[in-house]
């Protein structure tokens, strides 16, 4: 009887160990159309700063993560519909978004700028917007800001930033408002961006542009937020963050 009981306890112990060893399984929402933060390479694989940060925080948490590609304007609805557990897709921590999702601490912060033809810049003054078409990615902070502030301009909305670059190069829009780093790497440094330049002021109003870019999760998921914040802190302390940053940027993208 004692041997049977001992065997049962041992079996239970092994089962408990197996359950304890099971990694945390999470799904991560990513975009794949916002270089150098997120794009799809020629081999069909996702790549970019956001992708590498997602991989790094998952590894730090000891989590087994699956990346789920999603158009940006559907990111938050898909999160709330439980298509994935958190978002790593250059989502700025804004007051408006904080009403519907929770955020981790920031993992980078960069300014937003206009891109237009270098020969005929739109300088950000009200007069320079009159009669102009400004391309923005739908449901972004740039969409909201341009809609509220660029009086006299026609705001043209797109699902993907890459689509705006095509129309900007073809002359179908006069400018785009975009993250300055993404615009530089994704357009200005490409053949299509020849003759174009960043222009006007840096747009950083926290009411629109927030306090930096964070990882979004569903409201009230405090356990996940705690893990993500600890992971961000750990990869910065270990040097892993800088290693990732240096693959894409020659400056401190974390910001002030």
Give 149-174 pLDDT, tens digit per residue. 999 999 999 999 999 999 999 999 99
Is 202 in a helix, a strand, or coil? strand
Give the pLDDT confidence of 73-95 residue by residue, as tens digits: 999 999 999 999 999 999 999 99
Give Cα separations from 237 to 223, 230, 233 (angstroms): 21, 10, 6
Listed residue (177, 248, 254) closest to 35, CA to CA: 248
pTM of the model: 0.85
Handedness of CA 60, 61, 66, 69 (dihedral sign): negative
Tell me how far apart the alpha carbons of residues 203 and 78 are, in angstroms, rounded to a whole number.
Answer: 28
* Domain definitions of the chain by residue range: 23-109+211-248, 112-209
Tell me if 23-109+211-248 shares its fold with 112-209: yes
* pLDDT for 16 beyond 80: no
pLDDT band at 12, cuts 50/70/90? Answer: low
Question: Cα torsion for 215, 218, 142, 245, to the nearest 10°?
Answer: 10
Is domain 112-209 in CATH 1.10.3720.10, yes or no?
no
Q: Give the burial class of 114: count Cβ atoms within 10 A of its Cβ; 0-12 exposed, 13-18 middle, 19 or more buried.
A: buried
Q: Does domain 23-109+211-248 have CATH number 3.40.190.10?
A: yes
**Gap between the Cα atoms of 50 and 34, Å rounded:** 9
Is the CB of residue 78 less than 8 Å from the CB of residue 29?
Answer: yes
């Amino acid at each position: 009887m004692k041997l049977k009981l001992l065997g049962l306890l041992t079996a239970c112990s092994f089962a408990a160990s197996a359950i304890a060893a099971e990694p945390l399984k999470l799904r991560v929402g990513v975009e794949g159309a916002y270089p150098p933060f997120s794009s799809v390479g020629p081999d069909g694989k996702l790549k970019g700063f956001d992708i590498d940060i997602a991989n790094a925080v998952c590894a730090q948490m000891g989590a087994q993560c699956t990346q789920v590609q999603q158009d940006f304007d559907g990111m938050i609805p898909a999160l709330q519909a439980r298509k994935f557990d958190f978002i790593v897709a250059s989502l700025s921590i804004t007051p408006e978004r904080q009403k519907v999702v929770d955020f981790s601490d920031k993992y980078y912060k960069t300014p937003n700028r206009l891109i237009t033809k270098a020969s005929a810049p739109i300088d950000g003054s009200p007069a320079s917007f009159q009669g102009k078409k400004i391309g923005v990615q739908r449901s972004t902070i740039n969409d909201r800001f341009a809609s509220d502030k660029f009086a006299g301009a026609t705001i043209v909305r797109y699902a993907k930033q890459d689509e705006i670059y095509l129309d900007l190069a073809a002359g179908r829009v006069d400018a785009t408002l975009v993250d300055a780093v993404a615009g530089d790497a994704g357009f200005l440094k490409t053949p299509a961006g020849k003759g174009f330049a960043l222009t006007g002021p840096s747009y950083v109003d926290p009411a629109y542009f927030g306090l930096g870019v964070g990882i979004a999760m569903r409201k009230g998921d405090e356990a996940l937020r705690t893990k993500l914040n600890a992971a961000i802190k750990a990869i910065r302390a270990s040097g892993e963050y800088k290693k990732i940053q240096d693959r894409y940027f020659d400056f401190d993208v974390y910001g002030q």
